[in-house]
């Protein structure tokens, strides 16, 4: 069972003289039972999770002239959760933990456009994170991150767009108890170019190189049973080449077609992944990972009748993500756990003045739940079919009531996303939302 509450508040003010202020707040609370592993003679799970998330943010934007603009942001976010459970997988057969995380974030960005085809931006972010838990061994970590980003954009003509820049990461780590994690300094450069080879045609080719740097989160490092305080930051070099095409000419019943295709190659060092152990997952670093993939997306919008619109969407991904840390390991050049080579989805949506209906299929190929790609470690692929129907009802004073019904796993297929944790069979959901 799931019980959840969500409240959002947004305010916007225009000061005139090209200055605006945007405020937003959110509060979310949920209480839910968690699915358990399949264990003989145990048909139920006793684990429960309580979540509480809230944030308040402000965004100020000011345009000084055609050449100068600035933006400032500030945000405070709070998250709290409690996890309780009973079972042989817990010490003394019982487990209870409460966690609280707070984040303070400020950012300032300046944009300078000396000419109509050149833009230069500089952004500075400062982020402070804290964590506390109910466990006596909690180290009470605190992290301050300084992120500086410089970017230049050059667009001399409609057929050419070039970007270049970099991001500098600096971290300052502290703990109240235990060993303090290392501080880090890392520069991540990036460059991209987009070319339209045929004037007047919606055909674009793009090429990208990007360095990325990902710090392990507090959940990665300190979450009970899962966390690993010895994690190293994940670093990657990403290469991408892609094409987008949308024909100008369409018939009276075919409104638009968009086709995109991308090839990418990533070289990752110390990749952060979650690896399942006997009863829980554990965050670990993979020494070196090479990932090659192809993404293809197609969207077509049809107008067969004046009062009906039909949208077809399809996506396919082929990905080869292999561990190349050491030739001496048995899993050398094996696919990473829980990473399918093939996956995709297809959906069709029919929209009329009275009702909107949709049908979708998600297909995922076979995967392996351990590092070695052996037949006994294989998880079979699956297909998940879903059907949805929704309608808007106009009420008084401009209020709109939206009712939506979903029939999930229509074919009642039995499958696992995570080994030994079967997903629900055929199930349904009804959602009501009110906009005023």
Measured CA angle at 381 (ends 378, 386), to 5 deg: 150
Residue among 356, 414, 429 at smallest CA distance from 383: 414
Superfamily of domain 222-436: TonB-dependent receptor, beta-barrel domain (2.40.170.20)
Q: What is the pLDDT, as a whole number, of residue 350?
A: 96
Cβ–Cβ < 8 Å for 49, 79: no
Give pLDDT tens digits for 319-348: 999 999 999 999 999 999 899 999 999 999
Q: What are the φ/ψ torsions at residue 225 (nearest 5 degrees)? A: 70, -25
The kind and range of the H/E element at 218 are: helix 218-222
Q: Which residue has the tokens 């079972």?
A: 87
CATH (one of 3.40.50.12780, 2.40.170.20, 3.40.50.720, 1.10.10.1800) for 1-195: 2.40.170.20
State the average pLDDT over residues 91-102.
83
Q: Is the pLDDT of residue 22 over 90?
A: yes
Q: What are the φ/ψ torsions at residue 174 (nearest 5 degrees)? A: -140, 145
Residue among 315, 298, 369 at smallest CA distance from 340: 369
Q: Is the pLDDT of residue 278 over 60?
A: no
Residue 189: both structure tokens together: 């450069």
Give the Å distances, CA to CA, from 357 to 77, 241, 304, 323.
37, 35, 16, 43
Higher pLDDT, 199 or 176: 176
Residue 131: both structure tokens together: 């964590």
Give the Å distances, CA to CA, from 237 to 242, 265, 336, 358.
17, 8, 18, 39
pLDDT band at 279 (very low <50, low <70, confident <90, very high): low
Q: Is the pLDDT of residue 432 over 80?
A: yes
Candidate from 37-46, 311-320, 373-382 with smallest mean pLDDT: 37-46
State the average pLDDT over residues 76-94.
80
Residue among 82, 57, 94, 55 at smallest CA distance from 72: 57
Q: Where in the chain is the domain with CATH 2.40.170.20?
A: 1-195, 222-436
Cβ–Cβ < 8 Å for 37, 423: no
Give pLDDT tens digits for 367-396: 998 889 999 999 999 999 999 999 999 988
Q: What is the pLDDT, as a whole number, of residue 419?
A: 83
Mean pLDDT taken over the chain:
90
216 SS3 class:
coil
Most confidently predicted of 3-7, 81-85, 112-116, 245-249: 112-116
Q: Residue 139 class from Cβ within 10 Å (0-12 exposed, 13-18 middle, 19+ buried)?
A: buried
Q: What is the pLDDT, as a whole number, of residue 308?
A: 92
Q: Which residue has the tokens 């707040």?
A: 25
Distance separating alpha carbons of residues 35 and 18, to the nearest angstrom: 52
Most confidently predicted of 160-164, 194-198, 269-273, 368-372: 160-164
pLDDT band at 413 (very low <50, low <70, confident <90, very high): very high
Residue 410: both structure tokens together: 């229509």
Give pLDDT tens digits for 289-311: 999 999 999 999 999 888 899 99
Distance separating alpha carbons of residues 229 and 182, to the nearest angstrom: 10
Q: Is the pLDDT of residue 190 over 90?
A: yes
State the average pLDDT over residues 241-259.
89
State the average pLDDT over residues 73-79.
97
């Amino acid at each position: 069972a799931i019980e959840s509450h969500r409240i959002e508040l947004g305010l916007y003010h225009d000061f005139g003289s090209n200055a605006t202020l945007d405020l937003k707040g959110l509060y979310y609370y949920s209480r839910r039972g968690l699915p358990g592993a399949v264990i003989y003679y145990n048909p139920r799970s006793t684990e429960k999770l309580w979540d509480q998330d809230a944030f308040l943010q402000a965004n100020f934007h000011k345009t000084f002239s055609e050449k100068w603009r600035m933006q400032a942001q500030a945000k405070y976010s709070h998250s709290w959760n409690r996890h309780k459970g009973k079972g042989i997988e817990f010490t003394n057969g019982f487990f209870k933990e409460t966690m609280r995380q707070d984040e303070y974030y400020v950012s300032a960005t300046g944009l300078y456009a000396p000419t109509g085809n050149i833009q230069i931006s500089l952004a500075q972010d400062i982020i402070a994170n804290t964590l506390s838990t109910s466990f006596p061994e909690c180290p009470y970590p605190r992290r301050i991150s300084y992120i500086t980003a410089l970017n230049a954009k050059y667009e001399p003509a409609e057929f050419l767009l070039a970007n270049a820049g970099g991001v500098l990461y600096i971290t300052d780590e502290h703990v109240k108890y235990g060993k303090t994690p290392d501080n880090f300094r890392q520069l991540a450069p990036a460059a991209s170019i987009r070319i339209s080879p045929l004037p007047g045609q919606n055909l674009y080719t793009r090429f990208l190189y990007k360095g990325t740097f990902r710090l392990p989160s507090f959940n990665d490092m300190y979450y009970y049973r899962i966390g690993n305080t010895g994690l190293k930051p994940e670093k990657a070099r990403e290469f991408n080449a892609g094409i987008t095409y949308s024909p100008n000419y369409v018939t009276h019943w075919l409104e638009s077609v968009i086709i995109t295709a991308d090839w990418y190659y990533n070289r990752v060092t110390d990749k952060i992944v979650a690896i399942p152990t006997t009863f829980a997952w554990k965050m670990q670093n993979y020494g070196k990972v090479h990932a090659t993939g192809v993404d293809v997306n197609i969207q077509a919008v049809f107008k067969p009748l004046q009062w009906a619109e039909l949208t077809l969407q399809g996506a396919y991904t082929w990905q080869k993500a292999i561990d190349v840390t050491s030739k001496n390991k048995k899993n050398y050049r094996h696919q990473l756990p829980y990473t399918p080579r093939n996956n995709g989805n297809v959906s069709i949506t029919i929209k009329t003045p009275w009702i909107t209906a949709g049908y979708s299929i998600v297909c995922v190929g076979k995967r392996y739940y351990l590092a070695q790609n052996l037949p006994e470690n294989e998880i079979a692929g699956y297909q998940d079919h879903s059907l949805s129907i929704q309608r808007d009802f106009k009420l008084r004073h401009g209020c709109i009531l939206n009712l939506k019904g979903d029939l999930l796993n229509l074919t009642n297929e039995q499958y696992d996303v995570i080994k030994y944790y079967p997903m629900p069979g055929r199930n349904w959901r009804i959602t009501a939302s009110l906009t005023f």
